[in-house]
Amino acid sequence: MKWNKWVVVFMALCTMLTVTSCLGDDDKYELSQDEMKQAMKAMKGTYTGKLKWQATSGVKYDSLNNVSYTVNDTAIIIHNFPVSSLAAGVLEGSANDSLRNAIKAAPAQDLVCAISFYYNENFLNPHCLLNIMPYSIFIKNAEINTRKYELQVNFLNNNPNSMGYFNNERKTLEINMRTYNLMVNRQEQVGIYKTVYFQLSPNDK
């Protein structure tokens, strides 16, 4: 799958989609609770795929094979998400080496992603589009220049680079995510961290 597939998909469908969350509202394009339950039931299970990532200015991407991810009743869980991959967003330069190395040394974590659905007329026949909302990643006691800090990487949602695609016929789930910012001891860091884009594509079935 090409790296920019989601941008193409989103632009093609944005005029016919309206985002719908599990909380719902009075919008006439709101999906019913039954439709959302049907989608969660159809998606439920464990998948395996290839995770790719690259920073905003990156020419090449890094990747990790055989990444396991699960859909339960309420969310998507990417198991053993490589937290070290977030180091790709740290700007180059020796001044940032300690920060970069601290993120690279961080162990893998399960990444939980809340989801909502985009409305489309033929929902689940054969596909549906999702808004992917990853929870923040925390790295506690990160050692930077001999001192300990708490790092927090946040992700963006409601964005064409933060979408999921479920094919109900093939039973495949593809996920795109992108970071939003980096915080150190709850203070946003400006000018030292750039966006990292992630794409999780299922193994061929």
Task: Spell out the domain ranges in the chain.
Answer: 5-202
Of the chain, the percentage scoring pLDDT greater than 70 comes to: 83
pLDDT higher than threshold 60 for residue 18: no
Q: What are the tens digits of pLDDT across the range 118-138?
A: 887 788 888 999 999 999 999
Residue 185 or 33, more confident: 185
Residue 169 or 18, more confident: 169
What pLDDT, on the 0 to 100 scale, is given for residue 23?
40
**200: which 2 tokens?**
């999780």
Q: What is the 8-class DSSP label of residue 156?
A: -
Q: What are the tens digits of pLDDT across the range 76-102?
A: 999 999 999 999 999 988 889 999 999
Contacts of 200 (CB under 8 A, 6+ apart): 49, 50, 51, 52, 67, 69, 78, 174, 175, 176, 177
pTM: 0.85
pLDDT higher than threshold 90 for residue 140: yes
Q: What are the tens digits of pLDDT across the range 142-164?
A: 999 999 999 999 999 988 899 99
**Contact, 80 vs 93, CB < 8 A?**
no
pLDDT higher than threshold 80 for residue 75: yes
Alpha carbons 178 and 195: distance in angstroms, whole number: 7
What pLDDT, on the 0 to 100 scale, is given for residue 68?
98
**Contact, 177 vs 132, CB < 8 A?**
yes
Tell me the range of 1-5, 25-29, 105-109, 168-172 where mean pLDDT is highest. Answer: 105-109
Bridge partners for 143 per DSSP: 148
What pLDDT, on the 0 to 100 scale, is given for residue 29?
62
Closest CA to 130 of 165, 169, 78, 168: 165
